[in-house]
Structure 1
Amino acid sequence: MKNKFEADVIVIGGGPAGLCAAIAAGRQGASVILIERYGFVGGMSTAASVYPWMTFHTAQGEQVIKGVAEEIVSRLMERGGSPGHLRDTIGFTYSITPYDAEIFKVLAVEMLKEAGVKLLAHSFVDEVFVSDRIIQSVRLTGKSGRIDVFGKQFIDTTGDADVAYLAGAATVKGRQEDGRTQPMTMKFRMRGVDLSAVRQAIQDNPDNFYPKTLFAELDQLPLTAVSGFYAEWKAAKVPINRDQVLFFTGPADDEVLVNCTRVQGMDATDIEQLTEAEEEGRKQVLLMAKFMQDYIPGFAKASISSVGAQIGVRESRRIDGLYCLTIGDVVQGRRYTDGIARSGYPVDLHDPTGKGVAASFIEGSGAYDIPYGCLIPKGVDNLLAAGRCISTTHEALATTRLTPSCMATGEAAGTAAALAIATNTALPAGVDIEKLRDVLRKGNVVL
């Protein structure tokens, strides 16, 4: 095994953002290495069972995320790995996108190979070498020992801003006043669910469910998502600090993904606390499954079919970038001359200490811009960030962290890094923004 690799663009983290970054950079002609700690790609979508993807659309139904992300959905549909974009029957967003995680794992690697990307799996970055604000290389630890990977441009798609942190770039964590982060969730699947009984329960007692639920359309639409069962939750007194039941259907006809566990007060970048969070999350999975079997219509014969390989992380460390996206930017649907992605997902802020979720919806067009400055960290000059660890406030992160938005910022980062290589621009901050936006538009990105 070689102990040294080199490429134009080095992407660290093979989740949705990293996949789109690597594919985009490769398609622009750059040589690319993608580094992933697991033996498979997909990040939170596969390792933590974060499902479904939501949302590619505004509340009014306009699709604002396309590009590589939409190509992934289309190609999944071709092989039976997704039904495409379906209406969100909770009514929180316009659409959600179910997908088969196992098919996605295979498709993603195929697309990486098509783009000429070299994947180094089972590899964990634990050291970053910087000289005069320029990353020279990253060092991997894995089964083959220590490996050095050299590059010209680096993209941090670790979700936790690991590379930025190790490189000495400015990072922040949690909310401004106390550093507390949104809770983590151990997600799990159940099979053997009678969804017709669930649908009937919603129709029989609408007041027991989220008020934006599409009650009038349930007979015509596939049941994709359920939020509520308030009375059952209150009666059961499950010792989990939340106030309702939330699950999503599919991909099988008798299958749901349960998003109900809640682990608070833990730091996902501290290995001791992350270990404790995993333990607590798995205990809560068993509590939730038993509660659903005993209390929720349609679940009497259901059982756990899978649990995430790791706990789902909503928030940890993120870069302090040239621009910090705020909740005002999101809610007011602000446009920016350096916008490199759009999103229509509302603010979905899970309380770091309490039971609730604070929602804020986007005004006007129903979408906001993510500026290029949110991808550029302070302190390191040849590094971009994409996905969950871009530069935002605690509140704004509650929308940018969603998978389609991460895919969009990933594509932008990969395109920018490749463009820097092609134009001999040493620093990503110096990339011609109009040229970058033009290249993104040609890739069917909505700007």
Structure 2
Amino acid sequence: MGTIIEADVVVCGGGPAGVNAAIAAGRSGARTVLIERYGFIGGMSTAALVYPWMTFHTTEGKQVIKGIAQEIIDRLKERGASPGHVRDTVGFVHTITPYHPEHYKVLALEMLREAGVKLLLHSFIDHVDTVEDQRIQSVRLTTKSGKIDVRGRVFIDATGDADIAYLAGAPCLQGRDGDRLTQPMTMKFRMRGVDLARVKQYMLENPDEFYKKTPFEELPNLPLSGVLGFYKHWKEANLPINRDQVLFFTGPEDDEVLVNTTRVQGLDGTDVEDLTEAEELGRKQVLLVAEFMRSRLPGFERASVSSVGAQIGIRETRRIDGVYALQVDDVVQGRRFADVIARSGYPIDIHDPSGKGVTAAWVQGDGAYDIPYRCLLPQRITNLLTAGRCISTTHEALATTRLTPSCMATGQAAGSAAGLAVKHGVAPADVDMAELQSVLEADGALLN
């Protein structure tokens, strides 16, 4: 018999959604455990170098995500580890939020401790024990110190891949309709030694080589935060990577960029053999792209690779087939829902599962859409909530809800809902909506 840990709320996955869920649940007074497979917190933001966080605002610049997510930004700013929300010089969104991942790892741990959360790192969930096929009793961890059963009253799946829902038998979907293909994976990497003033000067002199939404009129007076383009250089290089431009973001240091240009398509992020192949392909592409940038791009003459993701970045895998699936029309029309628990202003942003391009669609209305509580609720399993990338959406709508600030917001909502479910002894589906919304707004979330 292995070790048994008892909790009220068990949060599975320590990425941005899981961190915010655990903080919210812990602050509610519920005994909360957060389980993470790596030896550090942050999920895709740290393990895969997903950077910067985008976006907390609409394309017009109205902030629509605050709460615990904004508290994290404010506390990072106090440490000099984030400039806060800055203008996106790519022009795809209004603001992006650079941050220092090492400071985020430490701050998240501090905030979890403050909230009374018990943290279990280096713990891989390999089994879910259900009762009568409708309620989770415990999750089993494989660890260096043997098997551990973590029992709880409410569970939150913040694994990104809907691992808990899937193992528990809740209906799940994957990829786009028909072929189940998902958005490509990307191995992200950082380069130091970049002359960003030289890059900016080249952009101002050659605007046709960059994304049409780049804010060139403002650019002379803006700090360079991101670059999309170098179309001519990329085309001439003819690298074996199925995309049509270079994308990188600046920081955290003055001579540093985060490169989001590799692309691994056609592989399944829930299949261990596909993941193994993806890691190999991604790392080979990193070296190809880095050499191309160093040898061909103005400002990169003295640049070199300074870090590569601990794992490949994954945009899309499984998601729950929940009580309600957010639709593409809900996003594009800026639809409002009575059971809103979070909002987002990020556009539809589909990196093509098989082609070169990116499909974008902007949010109409006031520039933001609601995420309803029903999207966090799976079918069949009564004491499970989801948060982050694996909530219930269509393939197209996932292309906006998967972004980090949205994941942080749905994480806070799931943690707050779990706290109320424990407090009142009810299933998550039976939490009083007005009370949940009141709790979220009291904790700084924006629902209007």
- Normalized against structure 2, the TM-score is what? 0.99
Q: Distance in 2 between matches of 1:289 and 1:304?
A: 7
Matched to 1:438, the amino acid is S
Segments of 4+ moved more than 3 angstroms: none
Q: Distance in 2 between matches of 1:308 and 1:297?
A: 25
Query: Residue 47 of structure 1 aligns with which residue?
Result: 47
Q: Distance in 2 between matches of 1:347 and 1:333?
A: 12
Q: Distance in 2 between matches of 1:219 and 1:262?
A: 31
Query: Residue 257 of structure 2 aligns with which residue?
Result: 256
Where 2:221 maps in the other structure, the secondary structure is coil
- The C-alpha deviation readout for 1:288-313, integer Å capped at 9, x for no partner, is 00000111110011000000000000
CA drift of 1:119 comes to 0.2
Query: Residue 292 of structure 1 aligns with which residue?
Result: 293
Matched, 1:123 2:123: yes
Quick check: 2:82–2:99 contact (8 Å CA) kept in 1? yes
Query: Residue 267 of structure 2 aligns with which residue?
Result: 266
Q: Distance in 2 between matches of 1:372 and 1:131?
A: 24
Query: Residue 146 of structure 1 aligns with which residue?
Result: 147
Q: Distance in 1 between matches of 2:2 and 2:86?
A: 46
Query: Residue 219 of structure 2 aligns with which residue?
Result: 218
Segments of structure 1 that go 5 or more residues without pairing to the other structure are none
Quick check: 2:2–2:149 contact (8 Å CA) kept in 1? no
Matched to 2:444, the amino acid is N
Q: Distance in 2 between matches of 1:196 and 1:221?
A: 11
Matched to 1:329, the amino acid is D
CA drift of 1:4 comes to 1.1
Q: Distance in 2 between matches of 1:110 and 1:428?
A: 28
Q: Distance in 2 between matches of 1:214 and 1:72?
A: 28
Q: Distance in 2 between matches of 1:404 and 1:148?
A: 31
Q: Distance in 1 between matches of 2:244 and 2:399?
A: 19
Matched to 1:317, the amino acid is R
Where 2:129 maps in the other structure, the secondary structure is strand
CA drift of 1:93 comes to 0.4
Matched to 1:246, the amino acid is L
Q: Distance in 2 between matches of 1:322 and 1:295?
A: 50
Query: Residue 244 of structure 1 aligns with which residue?
Result: 245
Query: Residue 66 of structure 2 aligns with which residue?
Result: 66
Q: Distance in 2 between matches of 1:310 and 1:281?
A: 9
Query: Residue 228 of structure 1 aligns with which residue?
Result: 229
Query: Residue 439 of structure 1 aligns with which residue?
Result: 439
CA drift of 1:90 comes to 1.0
Quick check: 2:2–2:146 contact (8 Å CA) kept in 1? no
Where 1:219 maps in the other structure, the secondary structure is helix
Q: Distance in 2 between matches of 1:347 and 1:248?
A: 20
Query: Residue 304 of structure 1 aligns with which residue?
Result: 305
CA drift of 1:219 comes to 1.4
Q: Distance in 2 between matches of 1:237 and 1:204?
A: 24
Query: Residue 26 of structure 1 aligns with which residue?
Result: 26
- Normalized against structure 1, the TM-score is what? 0.99
Query: Residue 320 of structure 2 aligns with which residue?
Result: 319
- The C-alpha deviation readout for 1:403-446, integer Å capped at 9, x for no partner, is 00000000000000000111121x10000111100110000100
CA drift of 1:238 comes to 1.0
CA drift of 1:277 comes to 0.3
Percent identity between matched residues is 68
CA drift of 1:2 comes to 7.4
Cα RMSD, aligned residues only: 0.8
